[in-house]
Amino acid sequence: MRTTVATLAVATLMIFATSAQAAPTLVNVRIEGKNETLFEGPILTEGHEVKASSDTQERPCDGINSLDPQNKTPGATPTAASADAMSLIGETFDGQWYPGYDDYFITRWGPDEQDPAEGAYWGILVNDVFTNVGGCQYELHENDEVLWVYDAFKERANLALFPAGDTASRPPLTAIAQLGQPFGLQVEVYGDDKEDNPPTEPDRADATPYKGAEVSPVLTSSKGLEQVQTTSPEVVTTSSEGKASITFTTPGWHRIKAGTPLGKEGEEEAVRSNRIDVCVPAPGETGCGPQPAEDESRTPAGLAVEPEEEHHETPLETHETPTQTPGGGNQLGGQAGNGSLVTPLVTSTPTLVPQRSSPTALLTLESFTSRRLLLKLTGSGTATVQIARQAGNKHNLRWQAVKTITVKVTKAGQVEVRLPRLTVGRYRLRIGLAGANSVTRIVSVTRGSG
């Protein structure tokens, strides 16, 4: 990894046109501390004011900054998103505010303080690339991967853990294995030593296998802190091709993560990987019940939600695909690259959520307009689309139910769903299928949206 000091970022999701304020954004936040993972999982966030523990006032952290004049609309940022993540587990952060940059230089996340004597500083990557502006300046996109790393600027590989054969750019949150059967894994290192405008998703094209990684069980505390159990007899080590297999002998959910042995200086030789929660169904079952809470999208206190009421509607057969432009987008200082703030809503890696005694399937959202959406399903069942509209102001956001649409699906394939007329505003779509994953999207509808 590159030897620069500090990283800053902001993400915004919009559809069709820019509105006065960006909608909340769903991103994945991971904070790899000195000896354990402090936070990992998807959260719904937005740009907002943040306050370090040692600071005397709140500071703006929404991407609007003179160093980044192309950011016209406030949006979610890596620092604001990670501050939200810490608040969800009852932890705080600290940093030094630099007025010249309108940004924090982060010195602590949770219990882990930087160590200048050892050159151990916090750094941030978005989609596996060090951002070229700071954490309150860079604007995030929907589904961006935000990664804070303790001692980030030493030459260490950044591990990524995938099920064997998985070719997606982002590692999955969950997977399914068979009881008593080898479950294949692969550990890779994304193209390293980058500092640039992060791509819209991790670039796996130049990833390389990592030999000697230890895939281990994970012990999770009541707060959600994750410790890799490197002394467990269940640990498996990757080959020269970065491959290994693990055999689960008990049913249920199993949590695994890849790491490396401690080096001469007593620290891990590589940055720990993402976590995968593996469902191992019991004999005669097809799932493991509800997925772990950390795999569900979490919402900080400032984004309250209200219960939705249920209605039904029949889908129509026509479909429109909107024209969208993908956006582009570093720790403290620097100038952001050019790029649109509009990012594709329609592509996502499905998250598998197996349910006990239900058929296992996958659900993805293929495309969206203000009138219709297109779903792709790998199995039959009843798809549910819950629509809620955002109300309130920045300090009292809430979701008001608009409609719930249910659609019976008799076979795998694409399904078109006609939406009720959506007026200008921000909306949350929760799309689910029994026995499958769920998809949540926050979208903005503006005048002229198709």
Tokens 């000195």 label which residue?
A: 34
Rounded Cα gap, residues 131 and 70, in angstroms: 16
On whether residue 77 sits in a domain, the answer given is: yes
Q: What is the pLDDT of residue 330?
A: 34
Contact 230, 216 (CB under 8 A): yes
Per-residue pLDDT, 58? 94
| CA trace torsion 229, 233, 238, 244 (10° rounding) | -110
Sign of CA dihedral 108, 31, 344, 201: positive
pLDDT for residue 388? 82
pLDDT in the model for residue 325 = 29
pLDDT, position 444: 75
Element (H, E) at 377: strand 372-377
Q: Which residues are CB-neighbours of 138 under 8 A, at least 6 positions away?
A: 8, 9, 10, 11, 63, 68, 77, 78, 126, 131, 198, 329, 330, 336
Q: Residue 387: beta bridge partners? A: 403, 429
Residues of the chain with pLDDT under 50: 1-21, 304-331, 333-360, 394-395
Joined together, the tokens standing for residue 75 give 């949006």
The dihedral sign for the CA sequence 194, 200, 205, 211:
positive
Geometric angle at alpha carbon 378, from 374 and 381, rounded to 5°: 85
Of 155, 178, 213, which one is at a domain's C-terminal end? 155
* The domain boundary residue, chosen from 260, 288, 316: 288
Whether 219 is in a domain gets the answer yes
pLDDT at position 150 is 96
Q: What is the DSSP string of 297-323?
A: -B--TTB-------------S------
In a domain, 13, yes or no: no
- Rounded CA gap, 156 and 26, in Å? 28
CB contact set of 359 (below 8 Å; sequence gap of 6+)? 286, 379, 380, 381, 435
Same-domain check for residues 204 and 142: no
Q: Residues of 198-224 as b/e, b for ≥16 C-beta within 10 angstroms?
A: bbbbbbbeebeebeebbbbbbebeeeb
The answer to whether residue 422 is domain-embedded is: no
Dump pLDDT digits (tens) for 130-139. Answer: 988 899 999 9
What is the distance between the alpha carbons of residues 89 and 270, in angstroms, rounded to a whole number?
A: 26
* Strands (DSSP E) found in 101-211: 103-109, 112-113, 122-126, 129-131, 145-150, 157-163, 174-176, 182-189, 195-196, 208-209
Q: Is 229 found in the same domain as 144? A: no
Can you say whether residue 446 is alpha, beta or left, with left for phi > 0 and alpha for psi between -120 and 50 degrees?
beta
Neighbours of 190 (CB within 10 A): 21
Same domain, 226 and 269: yes
The domain of 109 spans: 25-155
Same structural domain, 141 and 244: no
Find tokens 């796996």 and name the residue. Answer: 204
Q: 249: closest CA among 274, 225, 227, 278?
A: 278
Q: Does residue 191 belong to any structural domain of this protein?
A: yes
The amino acid sitting at 406 is T
In a domain, 314, yes or no: no
CATH of the domain at 279: 2.60.40.10
Q: Are residues 116 and 217 located together in one domain of the fold?
A: no
Q: What is the CATH number of the domain that holds 111?
A: 2.170.130.30
| Domain stop point among 236, 271, 288 | 288
Same domain, 187 and 120: no
DSSP 214-243: EEEEEEE-TT--EEE-TTSTT-EE--TTSE
Length of the chain as a residue count: 450
Rounded Cα distance between 135 and 8, Å, is: 2
Cα gap 348→365, rounded to integer Å: 7
Identify the pLDDT of residue 335.
35
For residue 244, tell me if it sits in a domain: yes
Alpha-carbon distance of 342 to 327, in angstroms, equals 5
Q: How many Å apart are CA 52 and CA 54, to the nearest integer?
A: 6
- Determine, yes or no, domain membership for 450: no
Residue 90: predicted pLDDT: 94
Per the structure, the count of domains in the chain is 2
| β 25-32/145-150 pair status | parallel
